[in-house]
Amino acid sequence: MEKVDCIVAGAGVVGLAIAREAARRGWETLVLEAADAIGTGTSSRNSEVIHAGIYYPHGSLKARLCVEGRKQLYAYARERGIAHRRCGKLIVATQEGQQATLAEIARKAGTCGVTDLEMLNGEKARALEPALKCTGALLSPSTGIIDSHGLMLSLLGEAEENGAALALNTSVVSARAEPQGIVTRARDATTGEEMEIAAARFFNAAGLGANGLARSIQGLDLRHVPPLHYARGNYFSLAHRPVFSHLIYPVPEPGGLGVHLTLDLDGGMRFGPDVEWIDTIDYRVDPRRAEHFYGEIRKYWPDLADGGLQPAYSGIRPKLAGPGAANADFVVQGPETHGVAGLVNLFGIESPGLTSSLAIAGHAVALTETQAA
């Protein structure tokens, strides 16, 4: 049986960040990825936004790890030359009653360590963005955008520089807790060959597959595996010269942050995500959903012309709470919770997972750091 210090299941941004963190500690690390490339799931199907940490309940993992992760991510992007821009965002009130909501968002964000928000009246907001229609806005200067693929390549490169190895097209069939650690049965999709690998530490960072993978781990009480709900977020693009220099967000809606306007690093505009609850993983975007997008976007950009929106892509959020329920926190579950030595399960890593990735990695690795390598 092969033996390593650490196995990471999943080569998305969080899995790669964990692999980097583990390898830098001198742990022999193996990353297993079922797809034929890194970051093909949630990590590459999002808005590529660096979030400030505004929306999350005080004391939650999302609040703490987003604020920590945002600072770490900006520093890491500068250090490693990853394309990014601190462009800022405006959360806009399009109805008179929403200013009170913005004030409450600012108050709660302050308790979580986001202290640079600025309340603007409609005139000041339009001075920043003349095409904007709003009665007021909340300016977040710490929000930005980043090249998520460039980030993942950098994390992988640094992990490999420190001795980590990546196995693509390799899925985890099952795992079991034994005295020598977590024994993982992995299958090579190309050859069909299966192998067993023992590791002192096993990080389940499989994203949309994390809950199912956890249920296959012998020795883990299934009471510790939460239910999973799929929330598809559809994106539409617009072939138009850039009209805005900031990201534009409406007041949040249940299940998401509303149909917002984000920019890519070339200045192109895209809109989304919406919230569409689905039963199976399906990334198809229904062009008919554009009709809803037009109505939502015109609340803050009334000059959007008919016929401009084109289906772009979609992502699926691994939700731990279903329709109508309050948003759930990240779950980073270590041995102190489930009792399986060396095992860390990461559930519900949706937004702000990209922003929080470096902080999530540090938190997850710390749960096993005191173990003998």
The answer to whether the beta carbons of residues 275 and 293 sit under 8 Å apart is no
Q: Look at residue 370 in the predicted model and tell me its pLDDT.
A: 62
Residues in the chain: 373
**Superfamily, domain 2-46+149-226+328-366:** FAD/NAD(P)-binding domain (3.50.50.60)
Portions of the chain given CATH number 3.30.9.10: 86-143+228-319
Per-residue pLDDT of the chain (373 residues; tens, 9 = 90+): 899 999 999 999 999 999 999 999 999 999 999 999 999 999 999 999 999 999 999 999 999 999 999 999 999 999 999 999 999 999 999 988 899 999 999 999 999 999 999 999 999 999 999 999 999 999 999 999 999 999 999 999 999 999 999 999 999 999 999 987 899 999 999 999 999 999 999 999 999 999 999 999 999 999 999 999 999 999 999 988 889 999 999 988 665 677 899 999 988 999 999 999 999 999 999 999 999 999 999 999 999 999 999 999 999 999 999 998 989 999 999 999 999 999 999 999 999 999 999 999 999 999 998 654 3
Portions of the chain given CATH number 3.50.50.60: 2-46+149-226+328-366
Q: Look at residue 180 in the predicted model and tell me its pLDDT.
A: 79
Amino acid letter at 325? Answer: A
Global confidence as pTM: 0.96
Task: Please tell us whether the domain made up of 86-143+228-319 is placed in CATH 3.30.9.10.
Answer: yes
| 3-state secondary structure labels for all residues of 316-369 | EEEECCCCCCCCCCCEEECHHHHCCCCEEEEECCCCCHHHHHHHHHHHHHHCCC
Q: Look at residue 255 in the predicted model and tell me its pLDDT.
A: 57
Q: Look at residue 371 in the predicted model and tell me its pLDDT.
A: 54
The answer to whether the beta carbons of residues 145 and 167 sit under 8 Å apart is no
